[in-house]
Structure 1
């Protein structure tokens, strides 16, 4: 029906397919990398944690924060900026994450954290960040190279979680659950990597690829999956998408679904739900969906099953990654190249 196999052969020149299949293997690889990782420095007397990153590297920090914020005794902030908060000092633990090692925003923030006397640990494949970590005698973890940063999420999430566990800020139980998730995500991957018309990721991609998705998650957990999904649709499928979270959406954006009905009809609302969302948030999603019925061109719902928030969140992210991949093929584009991002970096390098 959709001829996905033929489109894959024709368009996926850079093999994003294998990169997505590698998600559960990346989690396993992270355990191997960190098995003998022993920090050289002391990381006690920490009042807060700052994770530096952009794009795919930052998403790993977002996922980690969501998963451990109810057990970690110090606040965690993901910093997507050239600058850092004024409160960063010698009692701040900084995780500097850049897959390439050359992300200019992260390097700028890294420099400021160094001057502030923060305790810094780096995660990278190399580049300038590894050089700086070596020069400053910092602890760091070296990632395998060769992936698009957005396709290395399994590595970035897992390394961050395991590292924070080794430094005393994440529980053993969350790391055990991460390892347990490998089997569950592998099973899901086997189902979603089959390029046939009965694949639910293919079916959803066919429904939304010619629309503009508006993705709504809950502030409790799935907002980070909404953020990730938006980015994957934009980078992989080259289609504009937006995201927001419940309940905040109910205090502003819901009124935006009023004027210009022809424009609203081109939008597809995607609801990301989790069984542990606050009951009032789930209720708000149901009421909002009814209120917007007839405004959006389509509404769909995504939810995953699993024994823990970690497993459900990672499964949801993996499912959405596949949707973005198949949407790319249906949009007749190669999922891997990000030509505008590359061109932007080239232009910025001249300034």
Structure 2
């Protein structure tokens, strides 16, 4: 018995083709219908057309990542009921097409966020990085968001001011684009003015409000997921703390526990992203698997190296602060618990999340975090780690 080894594919425009993915060792594909507008219904025809491409290449469409959630649902305003009904129908259609796992997130306005897409590492490869000072410099001195000063400690504000003052115009534009333009898999990118207007739509929405809106959404869609045979898997916030005054409510073990207890169903589960949760030192990843493992429906395996304050960069998969060896062990033990108790959800798909840009990929145009070679290295290391742990535990 093994986990299902999967690979994220962004569709026909991906710089890594399905034919190339065959050489990585992955057997399943994680993908979505990225061309469809957020909030629209995914039809059976659209789903099956995409699924056929994947199956013709010799893979299973293992996980949908993601079915995006419209901002009206997050704010609980406007046409939120219509968008929830559309979401339900998409789940029904995915179930009809035999797809059983859906990853999604509930981050307001911005999806996953970084400030540097080519952070140079000592070995010559490059990594994604989140720099708290650079983020504050953008927020305080480029965006000039009203009231932002109250959200940063003094030991961040002065370095952020110095950072901003040293930027020339091209560097300011690059930082703005990096933060706002959207990274691979993000729901939307924004211009400077669009972003300012979007932030205003969340005025007065607290973390308690956002959490309540998420639980309302779950209570609506989980019964449909049960009927359709779909395991939902919410992805944690990335980074796992508030940005730009926007609340975030999927950042800690307590957050995750609140959600799975609010709607007590095996179809209401988690995407356990070791990089997102691991950016916080107060998230003990192996212990989180032990306590939340019964609701882990999908896994992203990567490691980050925490720096000072809230800064971090993507480390090699088996390095950094992720402690992936202990995480892998805990996941394997969770899988065997399920087997011994007669559960059917044994495969637990995982994918190598992100990867360094390295070797020949340094000379290529690739999606940030999603170049082929770095992820293939990660998958190879993770597969070896899994086999080694299973052998040491004398588990099949």
TM-score, normalised via structure 1 length: 0.30
Task: Kindly indicate which of the two structures has a greater share of residues assigned to helix.
Answer: 1
Higher-RCO chain (CA-CA 8 Å, sequence separation at least 6)? 1
TM-score, normalised via structure 2 length: 0.28
